[in-house]
Amino acid sequence: MTEQPLIFRNIAVMRRAVAQWRAAGEAVALIPTMGALHAGHISLIKASRENARRAIVSIFVNPTQFAPNEDFSAYPRTFEADLAKLAEAGCDGCFAPMASEMYPEGFSTKILPGGPALAGLEDRFRPDHFAGMAQVVAKLLNQSQADCAFFGEKDFQQLAVIRRMAADLDIPTAIFGVPTLREPDGLAMSSRNVYLSAQERAQAVTLSRVLRDSAKAIRAGAPVVDVVARAGREITAAGFALDYFEARQAQSLAPIAGLAEGPIRLLVAARLGRTRLIDNWPVE
């Protein structure tokens, strides 16, 4: 029988368990999530095994990172199914706080991330998103006292913001990025994929295909500006409303015109019906 993870509803109980594990010489990894777990999340737990004996997955749909027009109330909440997946993956703990535990009466501190949070990508379309995301991630890292934390590369700008914040605020937790897990046709796994109709699901594969082909073309010497323009046209022709398709310096996320300026990451965000999809690809 698979063992159930310990369920922590409050910070003090989680911290006690973490202190015991660490006292026994066991490193602890935190995998922050908003639930609706899929194989991509499970790959984060697996990746954490290389660095930590214990894994805690947090499940909290964080209200402060959603704009009023976004999908906070519709966001999939599948706690029982999530727990079964965590048990199957051998996860040790699940931190699932109520909103009142995270943001008690009187809570009033904000984080204003700069640097990669202002790169002109997601921040152009979701202006307050990274402030809310950084706020909850800073809290989760502090609450858990984890030795290391694992995040998917699918949210590439998010990962850059978290790395910057952890460095700037002297948060001792080591931050790791894990490559995106994809469906067999290439679509990046995401909790929001459940919103796609059958027709949209078939169209959605365009994003990863265009990213892959564009990376190949840049590697083969095509001018970045031409490749990016063509990619935008292809994505629009496939029925998406394109928010952006950009080539950026992989670490700083600064605009980049060619491979001579350093490693390139291609990043895209586009909407299909009511679903907004993001993805990215390295040029290597």
Please report, in range form, the residues annotated as the binding site: 34-41, 65, 152-155, 158, 181, 189-192
Which of 8, 17, 32, 227 binds ligand PAF (CB under 6 A)? It is 32
- How many residues sit in the footprint of ligand PAF (CB under 6 A)? 10
State the minimum distance, in angstroms, from the CB of residue 41 to ligand PAF.
9
Q: Which 61-80 residues touch ligand PAF, going by CB under 6 A?
A: 62, 65
Is position 33 an interface residue for ligand PAF (rule: CB under 6 A)?
yes
Give 13: exposed, middle or buried? Use CB within 10 Å, 0-12, 13-18, 19+: middle
Which of 155, 243, 246, 279 binds ligand PAF (CB under 6 A)? It is 155
d(CA 245, CA 121): 9
State the minimum distance, in angstroms, from the CB of residue 14 to ligand PAF.
16
d(CA 119, CA 253): 6
Q: What is the DSSP letter of 78?
A: -
d(CA 197, CA 272): 10
The three-state secondary structure class of 100 is helix
Q: What are φ and ψ of residue 160, in 5° steps?
A: -65, -40
Among the listed residues 5, 33, 41, 173, the single catalytic one is 41
Is position 235 an interface residue for ligand PAF (rule: CB under 6 A)?
no
226, amino acid identity? D
Is position 269 an interface residue for ligand PAF (rule: CB under 6 A)?
no
Determine whether 41 is an active site residue: yes
Site string for ligand PAF, 118-137 (x = CB under 6 A): ---------------x--xx
Specify binding-site residues for beta-alanine. Answer: 65
d(CA 81, CA 275): 23
**Radius of gyration in angstroms for the set of CA atoms belonging to the chain, rounded to a whole number:** 19
Where along the sequence are the contacts to ligand PAF (CB under 6 A)? Answer: 32-34, 62, 65, 133, 136-137, 155, 158
**Positions marked active-site:** 41
